[in-house]
A = this chain, B = another copy of it.
Amino acid sequence: MIELKLLEDRIRDQGEIVGDDIVKVDMFLNHLIDIELLCAIGKEFRNLFAGEKINKILTIEASGIGIACIAAQYFNVPVVFAKKGVNRNVGSDIYTGEVFSFTKNQKTQIGISKNYLTAEDRVLIIDDFLANGEAVKGLLGICAQAGAKVEGIGVCVEKGFQPGGKELRAMGYHVESLAVIDSVKDGVIRFGSYPKK
């Protein structure tokens, strides 16, 4: 069983519950950022993906960047992040994808320069949240265009009651979530966990 107790405790203590499906972690993860927590998260990702040969960490702006950069120190690899708002017609030097945000109810174009993701790359995808998996799937599409191999997907918080994690595991990806929220009901957050691999 995998869990980063530290992160789960912080979500339980400080996470702000909105309705029956949103837990805001603005106060330590994706607006104000607790760097000590991020270092613990980064080290844990290093442990969880110790068996994979990773030469690049891939994420998406904005809230993935800090997590990816701190984690990258422990992997000794560079980070590349997909930029949002990239026009599909920018030319032939960018891999593009489309990400639908359920929270914002809108599509966003994302893009990565072809120079920075290639068929030589063995990638770890990192993001803050995994719910429907739209952002990760957008990044997977870009990796496929580049011919880059995806060695793993590491997320801080997975919403276990939404299908993204299950779908990605069914597709054969090595997905690790440091905290899995199984339900948010009547103001109570219940956590679950997944077996490794």
User: Which of A's residues lie within 8 Å of B, judged by CB?
Assistant: 26-27, 31-36, 38-39, 61-62, 65-66, 68-70, 72-73, 76-81, 83-84, 112-113, 115-116
Contact = CB atoms under 8 A, between A and B. Distances in A.
Contacts of A78: 32-35
Contacts of A39: 73
Given A33-B69, A69-B33, A62 B83 contact: yes
A81 B33 contact: yes
Given A26-B113, A69-B70, A70-B69, A31 B81 contact: yes
Contact of A62 (B38, B62, B116): B62
B69 A32 contact: no
A117 to B, nearest CB: 9
Given A26-B116, A35-B79, 16 more contacts: A31-B83, A31-B112, A31-B113, A32-B78, A32-B79, A33-B79, A33-B80, A33-B81, A38-B69, A61-B62, A62-B81, A62-B84, A66-B68, A66-B79, A70-B70, A70-B73
Contacts of A77: 35
A116 B66 contact: no
Nearest to A69: B66
Nearest to A113: B31
Given A69-B38, A69-B66, A27 B116 contact: yes
